[in-house]
Every structure is written in structure tokens, then in C-alpha cells.
Amino acid sequence: MQTLRLVIFFGLIGTVGFCVDTIILYLLKNTIGLFYARAISFTCSAFVTWLLNRRLTFKRHPSGLSKTKELFSYFTLMLLGGGINYGVYTAIILNNDFALNNPVIGVAAGSICGMFANLLSSKLILFKHATAH
């Protein structure tokens, strides 16, 4: 039950992150392009999900690190999932005209693929002593 609760919380917060990612991407894409905008939108999304995950998903015992060190560690760990996420996004955008005109498709596909790597690295490394609520 604990693992199911963890996955549900992580997924719900990931959905919030997806919304942040998509909104910022759409706000910036016409100004700086789809790829630079996505780098910024992903970074904003990662910050929001860190805040929410440390307060909700891994509430009991976040990591034992200061907030600054925890944020840096979280971003470092998210690079694996972020790389997967951005790679899938890029492949879809470059190979599908419909997705090029509707980049939310690439964001969604990339987010789903990267989420599993991010969940595992968060649970097994950064918040290994935490319990979900």
C-alpha cells in the first residue's frame, strides 16, 4: 500500500509538473523556439515538482539535507529522467508535423517516459528514508 500511495502522489505531482512545463513552453515557444523554451519549461517544472514532492510525497523525512543541497541533488538526479524526457520530446517534434504544431504531444510523451526514471531515483537515492502520506 505504501508503494502504491507513493506512485499515486508522485504521479499527481508529475501531472502538476506537466501542466507547468506545458504552460511555460507555450508562453515561450514563439519567442525563443521550441527547444530553448522546453529547456526552460522543464527546469521550472522540476523546481515545482521538487517543492511538492518534498512537502507531500516524501513528507515524513525528506532527505536529511539542507533545502539547497536537496534541491541541487534533486536536479542532479532529475537529469537522467530529464534527458529521457527531452530526448523523447525532441524525437517526436522533429519527426511528426502534427506534434511540431502541437508540442504538448511531445511534452506528454517525454514526461511519461522520464517519470519512471525520476520516481526510481527519488525513492531509491534522495528520499530513501521517506514515507508517503
Average pLDDT over residues 69-78: 83
Does the structure show a pLDDT above 60 at 94? yes
The pLDDT value recorded for residue 60 is 64
Query: What pLDDT score does 63 carry?
Result: 66
Helix (H) or strand (E) holding 123: none
- Domain regions of the chain by residue span: 2-126
Using the predicted structure, report yes or no on whether residue 130 has a pLDDT greater than 80.
Answer: no
Using CA atoms, how far apart are residues 81 and 89, in angstroms rounded to an integer? Answer: 12
Judge whether residue 33 has pLDDT over 90: yes
Whole-model pTM: value is: 0.78
Say what the pLDDT of residue 6 is: 78
Q: Is the Cβ–Cβ distance between 73 and 50 less than 8 Å? A: no
Can you tell me which residue has the cell 508529475? Answer: 14
pLDDT band at 32 (very low <50, low <70, confident <90, very high): very high
In 3D, which of 10, 9, 4, 3 has the Cα closest to residue 119? 10
Q: Residue 27 pLDDT > 60, yes or no? A: yes
Compute the distance between CA of residue 12 and CA of residue 93 in angstroms, rounded to an integer: 25
Confidence at 116, pLDDT banded by 50, 70, 90: confident
Q: What CA–CA distance (Å, rounded) separates 1 from 16?
A: 23
